[in-house]
Chains A and B, each alone.
Chain A
Amino acid sequence: MKRIVKASIFFIALVLIWEGIYAAHIWSPVLVPSPASVARYLIDAARDGTLASATLVTVRRLVTGYAFGIAIGLPLGLLTARFNLVRDTLGLAALGLQGLPSVCWVPLALLWFGETESAMFFVVVMGTVWSVIIATETGVRNIPPIFARAARTMGSRGLHTWLRVILPAALPAVVGGMKQGWAFAWRSLMAAEIYVTVMSGFGLGSLLHYGRELNAMDQVIGIMFVLLLIGLLADRVFFSPWERMLRHRWGTAAK
C-alpha cells in the first residue's frame, strides 16, 4: 500500500510540474498542451470508440505475431542447441538478424506484402523470432550437464529429457528471451504503424501519425500515454508472474 502512495505522489507531482510549465506560457500551447486538454482528448477518443478500436487493432497484431514468433522460435532454438549443423547455419543467421534493428524489416515487408495486415504480422514475427531462438539456444547450452546425466540414470531418454529436463532447466533464459522479443516486436510494430496506413485497421501508431499530421499535440501525447500503459500492463500480466515463479522456484530472478 505504501508503494502505491509513493508512486501516486510521484506521478501527481509530475503532472503538476507539467501544468506549471504550461501555465507559464514558455512554449506555445500547440507544442506543450495542458494536462487537461490531453485528458480531454483521451476521454473523447474513449467515448467515440477510436481509442478502443485502435488499441484492439494494435494489440491483436502484436499478440498474433508474437505468439507465432514464439511458436516457431522455441523449437528452432532447441534445434539450434541440439545440432551443431543448425547452430553453424541457422544459429549464425539468427545471431546476425537479432542484431538488426527490427524496424529495418518494415521497408522489406511493405515491398513484399504491400500495405496489408500480412506486412504488420511479418514485422512483428521478425521482431520476436530471432531473440527467442538465441535465448533458447543459450539457455539450453548453459544448463549444467549434471541435470541431463542425473535424468539419464533415472531412465529419462530422448524426447522425455528434452521436454521434462532441458526445457524447464532453460526456462529462466527462455523467459528472458521472450521478454526481449516482446520489446523488439512492440517497437517494430509501432514503427510500421506510424510509417504506413493499412486500410484494414487503424492502430495506435496510425493515431500517433495523424496526431502529427493535424498538429494535435494533445492526441500525440495522449496516445503515447496509452502505449506506455500497454507496455506496463504487458509486463505485469505476461512477464511478472513468470518472473515471480522463477524467483520463487530457482531462488533467483530471470536472467
Chain B
Amino acid sequence: MTLPDELRNEEPSKLSVQGVSKRFRSRGHLVQALDNVSLEVGEGEFVCLVGPSGCGKTTLLNIIGGLEHADSGQVLADGQPITSPGRDRMMMFQESALFPWLDVRGNLLFGLKLKPGLRRKERLEIADFYLRLVGLERFRKAHVHELSGGMKQRVALARCLAPNPRVLLMDEPFAALDALTREQLYGDLQHIWQERKKTIIFVTHNVREAACLGDRVILFSPNPGRIREEFKVGLPRPRDINTVELARYSTSITAALKGHAVGEPREVAE
C-alpha cells in the first residue's frame, strides 16, 4: 500500500444494531443496561447518543467497539457481525488515554505500528499528517503531561484517525474540558469529519453538544436502557453551538429527555 492510498479516505461504514440486549449485575441488582435496542447508522453519518447516566449508551458504544459482548442480538458493520475490536472502528474516551511513556508522535505511531504493510517512513509521514490535521504538528516531540486537556484530546483524536478507521466511536470525549476549549473542538471535529468522512457515534449527556454535532440525536432512557425518540437535526454545517436555531433544537430534545427521565423506573425481572 502506498502513502497516498493510506491517506485516502476509507469508505465509511454502515452500522446496523439489531435487537441488542445486555444485563449487568451491579451491587447485587440486575440492571438491564440495554433492552432490545435496534439502530441503523448510515455511511458517514454523525449520530449522537444522549440520555441520563445508566441508560446504556456507553455500553452500546463498547459493544459496537467490540470491547463488550451483547447477551443477545448483534451489531453488523457493513454486513459483518462485530465480535472483537478492529482497526476499522477506533474509540476515543473521556480521558485521553494517551500513553505517558511515549511522546505525542509516539502515541500516534503506536496504532500505526500495529497496522501491517506500512514502512517506517510512511508511518512517520502519516503521524505528521494527522498531527497537522489537529493543529499540533509543533508538539510532536512533547510529552503528554506538557499538554493541556484540550490538546490531549486532540492528540487522542489524531491517534484514533491515524490508522484510517471507517468508524469513530466517541465516549463523552469533551466532557472534562472547559467550555471555551470544548467549543473550539466542536468546530474542529465537524471540520475533520467533513474532511475525513467517517461514520461517527458520539455519546454525550450534553444535549446542546449533541444537537450541535449530530445529523441525528438518539434519545435513550434508563431501566431498562431503550431508545425513546430520535431527532433529525437539519441545520447547515459548520454549526455554532451558540445560535438561536440550535438552541431551539436542544430545548425540544431536553423537554423530551425530561419527559422520559421522570417516567417510572422499571424493575427488571431476574
Contacts and interface: CB of A to CB of B under 8 A. Distances in A.
B57 interface: no
Interface stretch (A106-114, A147-155, A229-237): A147-155
A150 B171 CA distance: 12
A152 B90 CA distance: 10
A153 B89 contact: yes
Given A147-B97, A150-B91, 5 more contacts: A149-B67, A150-B93, A155-B85, A156-B110, A249-B144
A14 to B, nearest CB: 39
Interface residues of B, number: 25
B114 A156 contact: yes
A19 to B, nearest CB: 48
Interface of A: 144, 146-147, 149-156, 160, 164-165, 168-169, 171, 248-252
Contacts of A164: 110
Interface string B80-95: 0000011101110101
Given A154-B110, A155-B115, A156-B114, A171 B143 contact: no
Contact of A169 (B66, B86, B99, B159): B99
Interface centre among B90, B93, B101, B110 (most CB of A within 10 A): B101
Interface string B92-126: 01010101110000000011001100000000000
Contacts of A156: 110, 114
A250 B87 contact: no
Given A168-B99, A249-B100, A249-B101, A151 B143 contact: no
B100 A151 contact: no
B99 A155 contact: no
B93 A149 contact: yes
Contact of A152 (B67, B99, B146): B67
Nearest to A155: B114
A248 B143 CA distance: 8
Contacts of B90: 153-154
Contacts of A154: 87, 90, 110-111, 114, 159, 163
Contacts of B85: 152-153, 155
B146 A150 contact: no
A154 B97 CA distance: 12
B51 interface: no
B145 interface: yes
13 contacts: A147-B97, A149-B97, A150-B97, A154-B87, A154-B111, A155-B86, A156-B114, A160-B114, A168-B101, A171-B101, A248-B143, A249-B144, A251-B100
